[in-house]
Chain A
Amino acid sequence: MRGLEYHGILRADGPIVIAAHRENVGFSELARVRDRTGELRLGRIVDISEQAIAVQLFSENTGISIDESWIEYLEKPLTFRVGDGIVGRIFNGLGDPIDGYPPITSSDLRDINGRPINPSARVYPRDFIQTGISAIDGMNTLIRGQKLPIFSGNGLPHNRLAAQIVRQARVLSGESQFAIVFAGMGIKYDVARFFIDSFEKSGVLSRVVMFLSLADSPSIERLVTPRTALTAAEYLAYEKNMHVLVVMTDMTNYCEALREVSAARNEVPSRKGYPGYLYSDLASLYERAGKIENCEGSITQLPILSMPNDDISHPIPDLTGYITEGQIVLERDLSQRGIYPPIAGLPSLSRLMKDGIGEGMTREDHRDLAAQLFSAYAYVRSVRDLAAIIGEEELSDRDKIYLNFGDRFEREFLAQGEFENRSIEQTLDLGWKMLSILPEAELVRIPPKLIEKYLPRTGNGDPAKE
């Protein structure tokens, strides 16, 4: 009962505390455990039977004892207090302000688990977001309402890329109210600081809602952080009609926390010890992106995850890729060659690109141009493999041209400055310039009339050869 503490627990096992059954305790509700020093810990009820109640704590469990513990049931699920005042504030994972300013004054409490969007109430996302980054705009276009994760590895510049996207992202058709929700899960203080500084420099800090559960916070708190953040995002998008960009980093830490709790609950593990419901659990986060009917706002998600050992088939990136609408993959090899952003040409993908580009949205040639660039770059990869064995000299003339194309594509098209903001026209024209390296007969993915119109030519009418 609320306001009443029950004395004693039955068992403490990792983050799970088992207490005797009480009346009027509901599944998934909050409970508060007080230990002998008076410290309070929040937890969520994960199993109830007629004999016992299992509570999963969101914090450290040191000092919990069987006799000297008191448990209170709060009769409500974990909630986040929403209101106009949340924009510009910093919260911890549970939604308590940690920036030293007073708590939010609002009586509007939201269940952080949210509710699934009715598929028939969704609006299919189509609005092109210009990030000013050629590799994204030209090849893996970001769409408003999309969930597009960045698959990275330790030591790769995913944070700089995310900051650049936040800084430069804009929609071509007019400006509108926007907000940024940032969820930091198990990240180091300097990473959080980097984002705060970068938001400040680009003048958007007053539009940011931050949720920080740093590396020294209890790992279980990471399980709640993205949910609290998405609750704030849903409030801003669907009630305040804002366009919200949600940056969540690092999803790998979130999944580790999930595995930790699952192991503590003795669940049957599936791949690499992760619980069998990892897919459903991740989906309950990622699927909170989108647009709904009769509402101006939208939620665009940019989750960042570091692939353990750069392995894209690891369960975390793998399951993420199955849920999200594409992925931006960072490649160590490109990064080591000094190319920023090191966005891998081939494994990166934007599923919503096909409906957000083309005439009236970006430009009529966008789709065919991108398809041709992908196909040519894929061929470059096989030529490089061949060159590694027989040597560049032995390559046929056609293959040599492709090799040249590949190098220039990476150095001129993919690579750009961290503060360089290219318009979509610049990006597409640059793409054509790259294609002009190839013989015209190779451009089979593009209709002749577009080649006629856009392929840059030198004075004598031949494609520019370099």
Chain B
Amino acid sequence: MSAGYITRISGPVIYAQGMDDAGLYDVVKVGKAGLIGEIIKLKGDVATIQIYEDNTLMRVGEPVECMHRPLSVALGPGLIGSIYDGIQRPLPVLKNVSGAFLAPGLAGEPLDTSKKWHFVPLLKAGDPIAPGTAFGIIQETASIQHRLVFDASVPASTADWIAPEGDYTCTATLVKSREGKEYTAVSWWPVRAARKFTEKQITHEPLVTGLRVIDVLFPIAKGGSAAIPGGFGTGKTMTQHAIAKWCDADIIVYIGCGERGNEMTEVLTEFPSLIDPRTGRSLMERTILIANTSNMPVAAREVSIYTGITIAEYYRDMGYQVAVMADSTSRWAEALRELSGRLEEMPAEEGFPAYLPTRLAEFYERGGMVKTLEGKKGSVTIIGAVSPPGGDFSEPVTQHTKRFIRCFWALDRDLANARHYPAISWNDSYSEYTEDLIQYWDSIDPAWDALRTKTMDILKKERKLSEIVRLVGPDALPDEQRLILLTADMIKNGFLQQSSFDTVDMYCAPPKQTFLLTCILTFHELAENAIKNGAPLLKISALPIKEKIIRLKSTLENNKVQEGQAVIQEIQQAFTQLGVGAQGGLSI
């Protein structure tokens, strides 16, 4: 242990002398209070340290102790359902120690060391061990089987002894190697290093979110990366919450990075009572929360992103599909900026450090579908919220993020103002995964690609037409073009807009998604025909079936899509009764 002492204090950044044997990014305990910090720069025997806690009253000359290991997280059974701060201190435990307010210098075991888990060994004495060898299974929750796998730091050897099936705490030795090394259910991994895998893979499987505008228009693949940029009040957090609730990942890691405390409380109070439609269990049984809210120390905010993604990678390595919600990456970038400013580094754009794009790239590259060391398939999907100042997407964080993601869900102020949620703009958003996912959707509905192309086409035409309407009014347009406006309206109200309060509408299964579009586009096609045969648009827009289609999203339940097929016939009948050419159905 090297014993240094503080020579300068400048906010959360301190300088310490006598740190000659310390390493970069080693964890240090600073001052008499023993606050946790991390070495971010070394020069001679002077170390620059960022502190993760409030350091009011700290003095020059107080001791600094180097722990000679990088900042690491504890990985093992018991993570699921937990809520941690940015450096993996369990918030409920801290609450028991210091009450409702967080005091500096608190410590708490990240994993409950008294709880016993039922361990089933997968090895026997004499079996070889190496990175990627699974040595046991613990049933962590009803739906999550926790596979204990040796990580990349474990040297190849042979198991000398392995614990028999039974109940153990997470500090109990489960495996002894020939060299006498002991392994428990808990391992540690440095947060800033990506966990190892065998190879990255291309994915053809979507992360089904249950949000129609995402799944149909801008889908994301498992292992993909997406950004949700939007000004304040456009619904970033609401969209993230909705995805965290309903997407078909096995595990959700939700990182509240520099955001509101009440939002974390909302997740904590709401998720336990919600039921996962796939497993029938509480949503909290697949969720891990990292909460470093905006008023908690800024250095811990910087690291919270890494804490979250390391935990996600850990479950990926067991073969799970993990989704990470990072809300918000802009606050993380601002933490970088703040610390960089304290270090008196040369600023690049808007005061952000020049290494911002590198850090963003490193973060998003930790996502992906991989073949794990054990040979299983696991993925980490990253969905990062971006909070551009003034809602202006040309700012550095949004621009650099765009380079490293393949799905861009731009939130639109006008849609949010009209309370059209999710306020994902169909004009500015894009997804580069569409091609990769056609195969999956073909199995749901072979018309998927045609439906989405047609929908996008109508929305695009509507955008052009509404520019004209803005100048001359809708009356100047011929009926065929006004039909485009009408259909676009139906798409917006009856398909894109989705209520997160309506119990039927909040989650929309893929078959229902394509069915709703089929109804709207059938209506459109028949109306087009009818107009060609001389029916006035006024009559068409007055058809009661129109309103019925719009309301279908909240009247038709996910498991009753088959029964809904009758609606198609109703649409055809409605047009037959109009008396002008209602032959045929949807031609696509």
Residues of A within 8 A of B (CB): 21, 23-29, 46-50, 77, 111, 113-125, 145, 238, 267-271, 275-277, 279-280, 283-284, 287-288, 290, 292-295, 313-315, 318-319, 321-323, 325-327, 346-347, 349, 351-352, 354-355, 367, 370-371, 374-375, 378-379, 382, 385-386, 389-390, 394-396, 441, 444, 447-448
Give A267 to B344 CA distance when docked, in angstroms: 8
In the complex, which of the residues A119, A145, A315, A396 has the most CB atoms of chain B within 10 Å of its own CB atom? Answer: A119
Chain B residues lying within 8 Å of A390, measured Cβ to Cβ, are: 471-473
Q: Which of A25, A27, A367, A395 contacts B55 (CB 8 A)?
A: A27
Chain B neighbourhood of A325, CB < 8 A? 260, 262
**Given A283-B295, A367-B501: A374 touches B419 (CB 8 Å cut-off):** yes
Knowing A27-B9, A77-B57, A444-B551 are in contact, say whether A116-B493 is a contact too (CB < 8 A): no
Chain A to chain B contacts (Cβ below 8 Å), 16 pairs: A24-B59, A27-B56, A50-B8, A113-B54, A113-B56, A115-B101, A116-B293, A118-B98, A119-B264, A119-B265, A280-B335, A283-B295, A288-B295, A375-B419, A390-B471, A396-B475
How far does the Cβ of B91 sit from chain A's closest Cβ, in whole Å? 4
Interface presence of B391 (CB below 8 A)? yes
Per the bound structure, the CA–CA distance linking A319 and B60 in Å amounts to 34
Do A327 and B233 have beta carbons less than 8 Å apart?
yes
> In the bound complex, what is the Cα–Cα distance between A288 and B102 (angstroms)?
12
- A122 partner residues in chain B, CB cutoff 8 A: 100, 261-262, 264-265
- Given A114-B101, A276-B341, A287-B261; A354-B501 close (CB under 8 Å): yes
* A403 CB to nearest B CB, Å: 13
- From A27, A119, A124, A267, contact of B256 by CB (8 A): A119
Which residues of B sit under 8 angstroms from A444, Cβ to Cβ? 493, 547, 550-551
Asked if B232 is at the interface of the complex by the 8 Å CB criterion, the answer is yes
Which among A47, A121, A123 is the interface contact of B10 at CB below 8 angstroms? A47
- Asked if B389 is an interface residue, CB under 8 A from chain A, the answer is yes
Cross-chain contact of B102 among A115, A290, A318, A396 (Cβ < 8 A): A115
Would you give the shortest CB distance from A281 to chain B, in whole angstroms? 10
What 6 pairs across the A-B complex have the smallest Cβ distances? A313-B390, A283-B294, A378-B418, A321-B232, A49-B8, A287-B295
Which B residues from 53 to 82 make CB contacts under 8 A with A?
Answer: 54-61
Q: Are B260 and A277 touching (Cβ within 8 A)?
A: no
Q: List 10 other contacts, CB 8 Å, given A50-B8, A351-B233.
A: A26-B58, A47-B11, A115-B54, A119-B268, A268-B351, A279-B334, A284-B295, A347-B233, A378-B418, A389-B470
Q: Is B296 an interface residue (CB 8 A)?
A: yes
Q: Give the Cβ gap from B542 to chain A, nearest Cβ, in Å.
A: 8
Give the residue name and chain of the A residue nearest to B62 (CB).
A26
Task: Decide if A292 touches B100 in the complex (CB within 8 Å).
Answer: yes
Contact A118 B265 (CB under 8 A): no
The complex places the Cα of A318 from the Cα of B94 at a distance, in Å, of: 33
- In the complex the two chains form, what is the Cα distance from A284 to B297 in whole Å? 10
**B278 to A: closest C-beta gap in Å:** 25
Considering the chains assembled together, what is the distance between the CA atoms of A145 and B473 in angstroms?
46
B261-297 contact mask (Cβ, 8 Å, vs A): 1 or 0: 1101110110000000000000000000001011110
Residues B91 and A268 in contact, CB atoms below 8 Å apart: no
* A322 and B261 contacting across the interface, CB-CB below 8 Å: no
Residue B92 is within 8 A (CB to CB) of chain A in the complex: yes
Interface residues of B (CB under 8 A from A): 7-11, 15, 54-61, 83, 91-92, 94-95, 98-103, 231-233, 256, 258, 260-262, 264-266, 268-269, 291, 293-296, 298, 331, 334-335, 337-338, 341, 347, 350-351, 387, 389-392, 414, 417-420, 469-475, 493, 501, 547, 550-551, 554
Find out whether the CB atom of B56 lies under 8 angstroms from the CB atom of A271. no
A49 lies within 8 A of B60 (CB): yes
Cβ of A325 to closest chain B Cβ, rounded Å: 7
- Known A-B contacts A121-B95, A390-B472; the reply to A313 vs B391 at CB < 8 A is yes
Whole-angstrom CA separation of A269 from B418 in the bound complex: 35
List A contacts of B54 (CB < 8 A).
113, 115
Q: How far is the CA of A313 from the CA of B391 in the complex (A)?
A: 8
The answer to whether B101 touches A313 (Cβ under 8 A) is no
Is A375's CB under 8 angstroms from B420's CB?
yes
Report whether A322 and B387 are in contact in the complex, using a CB–CB cutoff of 8 Å.
yes
CB-CB under 8 A from B334, the residues of chain A are 276-277, 279-280
B262 & A394 in contact (Cβ 8 Å cutoff): no
Our pick among B61, B256, B266, B473 for the contact of A396 (Cβ within 8 Å) is: B473
What is the chain A residue whose CB lies nearest that of B60? A48
Given contacts A115-B102, A124-B269, A447-B554, contact A268 B473 (CB under 8 A): no
Tell me if A118 and B387 are in contact (CB < 8 A): no
Most A CB within 10 A of own CB, among B231, B233, B293, B473? B233
- Say yes or no: A77 contacts B265, CB within 8 Å: no
A27 lies within 8 A of B294 (CB): no
Q: Which residues of A contact B103 (CB under 8 A)?
A: 115
Neighbour of B95 across the interface among A118, A269, A346, A374, CB < 8 A: A118
Q: Are A124 and B266 in contact (CB under 8 A)?
A: yes
User: Which residues of chain A are within 8 angstroms of B94 by Cβ–Cβ distance?
Assistant: 118
Among A48, A120, A313, chain B packs the most CB atoms within 10 A around the CB of A120
Cβ–Cβ contact B417 & A346, under 8 A:
yes
